[in-house]
Structure 1
Amino acid sequence: MSRPLPEHPSLEHLRKQAKDLLRHARAEDADARARLAAIDRGASGTPATLADAQLVIAREHGFPSWPKLVHHVETVDGGGFVLRPLIRPVELSPGRRWTLADGTIASTDDVFAMFVAARDGDMAAVKRLVAHRPALATVEYNYTPPIHFAVREGHRNVAEFLLNHGADPAYRSYPFQESLLTFAEDRGHMELADLLRHRLTRRFAVVPGTRTIIEAATRGDLAAVEAELARDVTLARSSDETGDTALHRAAKNGFLSIVRVLLAAGANVDAIRGDGYRPVHCALMPNWFFQVSHDTREEIVELLLSQGARYTVFIAALRGDERFVRDALARDRSFANFEDTCHHRVLSAAVRRHDVAMTRLLLDHGADPNLPEEGAPRGLSLWIAVNDGEEMIVRLLLAHGADPNGAVESSGTPMSHAEGKDVALAELLRQHGGRSHRASERDQVARFLEEGKLDDAERLLHEHPHLIHDDEAGWGDGILAGPANRGRHDIIAMLLRLGARVPSVSKWAPYYYFKHEATAAFLLEHGMDPNHMNWHRFTLLHHMAAQGELGKARLLLDHGADIDAIDDEYRSSPLGVAAHRGQGAIIELLLARGADPDAGGASWALPLSWAERKGHRTVADMLQKATGHRP
């Protein structure tokens, strides 16, 4: 006789029952073995599997198979997944001031409330917060705006409101760069996907199936690009849901032959991506991740221009074309403040080239060094000049009112940058209003640690022991983050001896605490939580699974990481995330260590569902074999 399910069944509890049954059977428990014997497991003597145990649990509750039990539970109780309270990052602790994109000040309470309201679909709270501070509609923490949560959780009305108040439909998530449209489609939020698609197609030539040609162009695979064009020549002009095209990628990474092929096939030479970049910008602007020779970049630029790419005064300044710039200024002095579609200005283009004469020319024609640019609400030119040590240009900019205290995204201010780089430039900036950052005890400790002055750092920490547990240290990720990033085990050991610990939640653990495998091992051996996570409850094991980091994944498992933890972002286990990303080797490891192939917070988040939806056929076959479910 079957046992009834409780009124509010939990998949997590049912999965635990199956695991317990299997564990007891393997321990020769007579009752467990008898329960498993009640089902036909094929050949006699075959070791029981987790799929067998799940089938027993399903049949004991009156269902012919585990998938049918899962479907029933999801139908009546949302899959047993309960949305947990949003983790509040330390930088958003109560009662602090937060500068919004429009320069207004909000409290961290309102900022965090905005994220919670968007996630929970609380339309009244969203409207109230935006009415009070309009820029809260697009506020970001760690590159994540409210619309991320609204789309993730399927709140169409909230998402539409945010889009109408400035949210970018071409936004990509951090760190995996997934689009909002992908978020909606993956989670089955089809009405919301239709809304996003409608907004996006008004801006871009969005065509399904562009991923293959874009990826081929990114890696320089000419044969694959040509094969895709032979299949459908319109792919040359098509973009993905963020406006990215194969031409953007080929131009950025210096693949001249692919640029030629795409242009010959009819690619839009001036397609504007979601961030405002055209292919010519991709070819000319700095590429920190893929070094391209100057000659190759110039060949690509010449080719794009010959095919009709718009030649703006910004492009001219980047190329050092002084005649074009002079002619433009003679026609219209306002060109001195021209902002191209990529949200960079002609003045910063001249400064990037260390072009003193052009910088002076632009300033003499009224260029304002404090106008906003990408990542720089108070201008980028002075920061670039300070960074490059261009004293003459620094003097010119300061003489024309450049703000030495204007912050640049993730890079401080020109003044703070100069103080750590060039004493003479710092003094010059100070004379023009630059505010010296008064070094706190925290700053002094950080400096001593960076310089390897352990005795000085330890002395100061003994004098101010609270700094060991300072939430603000390490960019909010803890005092151990910097030394871990540099692989300095000697510094880590000293700090641990004084009581420092890795926090249980941080933003950038994969890139700091787990940057080096040896350092990751050292930290785990000295008490770091193997279930360390970010504010989406995405654990380090999830991240290592996504990135295919076998060694680091083994470390975490060896130290007791929860192999079936379910995160909030993907509602997936580490196995599910690995399936999503097609990481076959990680999947083999996780399955061998006992990962549940059916773990997930929703049917769309199960490992096999991810593999099939993302087209990872080999991975799907592995998971199908692992689940072994009978129809």
Structure 2
Amino acid sequence: MPTVSLPDDPSLEHLRHQARALHRAVRAGDAEALARVHRSYGTVGESFPLATAQLVVAREYGFASWAKLRQHLDVIDRYRWPRRTGQPVGGSPSDEFCRLACLTYSPEDDPARWAAAVLPAEPDIWAAAAAGDADRVAQLLASDRSLARREGGPHLWEPLCYLAYARVSQRDPLRTARILLAAGGNPDTGYLWGGLTTPFTLLTGAFGEGEQGPVRQPRHPQSLELAELLLRAGAEPNDGQALYNRMFGVDDSHLRLLFRYGLGRGEGGPWRARLSLQSPVELVQGQLLWAVSHNQQARVQLLVENGVEFPDGVVRLALLNGNNDIAAYLKSAGAPAPALDPVSEFVAAVLGGGEADPSMADQARAARPGLVVWAAANGRLDAVRRLVELGFDVNALGRGDTPIEQPWSTALHHAAADGNRPLVLLLLELGADPSIHDARFDATPAGWAEHEGHPELIELLTP
């Protein structure tokens, strides 16, 4: 098991530097370095070669050897997007069409950019795939079938990637996809966005959505049909990035389709064989935990009915988020009921609308200083009022996306982003300060309202 997490987009040279630094520190008799070696390797003799330092670093990151760590980095370099070795900017009309036409999960994603894409008269295979031009794709493949798997265009993607990530009006994407697959196109092709290890696959592109929402990161226009076509062709259903991108909304059509094709079962497919990814069981358990903490009752039931195993503490999680109906359902389905400590009972009561023991407020505030942010992000007006009455800071920084303590933004930021005018008014009445900037984007609540398309709140939130 790793004792430290491998950095995002890891650099081999940085890891070599770590090994060399450990080697020098051990040779100098540094006590902390010697302790690291003892934990991961064993007793240090008179000789301590650099290769042993490399082994220690590899084991700390969870790899059996330096060679295994190198192999992991080689996979990241092979599939990373953009490529480290220099990515073509794309000067041809086909390249420009692909660059404008495709969802890239970057700040540039916007309907206005896709609308500006103009298909050239004789597109190459990548632009033809993005346009869903089945006749042109068939014509090009008739001359060279290897084009079905060839990387190219401005992103160095295979043609099916351009098809799945395009957000322009496509002529016949399903027929185009069938032609590419019949010619040998890979239903599991994809890339590693920014060197992160969860792959952005064809299913990820078809299902769409994500942190920036369904307007800037929409689904493919024929999302379910394209996804099922890919699944029938052998695409791996245990797709962590696709699940993550769609978990923010309440529509479960993607889950129902993926369960039909093996979600939560099997070994995890070719990407898991290449990289250290979650198992299928862990993936669906993560979906259950998210649904429980975010009060997604229909999704909880769907996951349980499809045999997802109960993670430890799942009922406790439901109670601590005030989701009493979900807690009752989970217990009826066989999940063990927990015993709550006094602070947890206080949190569960406040968020769930029960009677909270005021004598526990100080301890609860020390343990969960940002609880008012979580209550606001979940639209629990009564809980917000009660927490402030019990001494919780209405201007505390916390997280609204998941129930952990991290000083990111205020309750007012989340009310503004959600366009929740009644909650905005309540928070202002309770003393919320609209001039506070959040810790991630350095923006005020008015800025959040503007970004999320709620101009009617800007004047209200402008000091």
Question: What TM-score, normalized by structure 1, do the two folds share?
Answer: 0.38
Q: Give TM-score scaled by structure 2 length.
A: 0.48
Structure number with larger C-alpha Rg? 1
